[in-house]
Amino acid sequence: MLATEQSKEKLTLGLNGIEESIKMATGRHGVHFGETINLYGPSGGGKSWVLSLLLEHALQLDSNDNVIYLDLDGRFVSRRNKKRMNIDNTLSEQPNQEQNNNERFHLFQPNRGQLLATIQGLDSWFYRHTNKRVTMVLVDGIAALNGNLMETLRRLQRKWSFVLVITSLEPQSNTLCHYRFHVYKKLNQVEMKLTS
């Protein structure tokens, strides 16, 4: 849906740690469409895992909302995540649930040579799929994007009004992100802390 057609509605993320931190910082629940969340921290700190939880929550909602997942690090393990998201036939209580979730989840795994074409082709993808409401675009491995590709993604976000969640090793600038969460492991547990 084009941004000009969307209201100031909010999206709940399904992760108490993130939502409580945002509520304490802003006084409101959820994030507005058009906002960006940066999950940053060391490699192996749990950023990809947090993205999979956001994806899982979005697909469990009783809605027709869609999620785009740009796996730029090659860390999305579909068999494991398929089981976690309950979209395997043997785990699904409703026979049509797997098909519905698969239709709402759009995974892009471009290699370095395909990256430019994939990012630039997203606008055409949105136009061809105007019947699908994309609420979140999850980007795992923002380091693969140069400044021009990141700006293309931000332009698409303004145009199509989705919540953008990106992962990086270092925090991104305040001009790019509304919320930055430091994600790391402590005693084999993933911790998240909202930073300014």
List the domains of the chain with CATH numbers. Answer: 12-190 (3.40.50.300)
Q: Count CB neighbours of 71 within 10 A.
A: 19
- Report the distance separating Cα 79 and Cα 42, nearest Å: 25
User: pLDDT tens digit string along 52-72?
Assistant: 999 999 888 777 889 999 999
How big is the chain by its Cα radius of gyration, in Å? 16
What pLDDT, on the 0 to 100 scale, is given for residue 189? 93
Summarize the confidence of residues 157-172 as an average pLDDT.
95
171, 178 in Cβ contact below 8 A?
no
**Structure confidence at residue 173 as a pLDDT band (50, 70, 90):** confident
Q: What is the 3-state secondary structure (H, E, C) of 18-46?
A: HHHHHHHHHCCCCEECCCEEEEECCCCCC
Q: Count CB neighbours of 156 within 10 A.
A: 22
Q: For the chain, give the mean pLDDT.
A: 85
What pLDDT, on the 0 to 100 scale, is given for residue 87? 44
Among 141, 137, 168, which residue's Cα sits nearest to residue 154?
Answer: 137
User: pLDDT tens digit string along 100-125?
Assistant: 677 899 999 999 899 999 999 999 99
What pLDDT, on the 0 to 100 scale, is given for residue 31? 92
Q: Regarding beta strands 31-32 and 10-11, do their DSSP bridges make them parallel or antiparallel, or are they unpaired? A: antiparallel
Among positive and negative, which fits the CA dihedral 78, 83, 86, 90? positive
Query: Quick one: 190 exposed, middle or buried, by C-beta within 10 A (0-12, 13-18, 19+)?
Result: middle
What pLDDT, on the 0 to 100 scale, is given for residue 92? 38
Among 31, 74, 80, which residue's Cα sits nearest to residue 52?
Answer: 80
**Structure confidence at residue 4 as a pLDDT band (50, 70, 90):** very low
User: pLDDT tens digit string along 5-47?
Assistant: 444 788 889 888 889 988 998 888 889 999 999 999 999 999 9
Among 106, 56, 64, which residue's Cα sits nearest to residue 83?
Answer: 56
Among positive and negative, which fits the CA dihedral 25, 28, 29, 33? negative
pLDDT higher at 141 or 91: 141
Look at the block and give the residue holding tokens 């057609």: 5
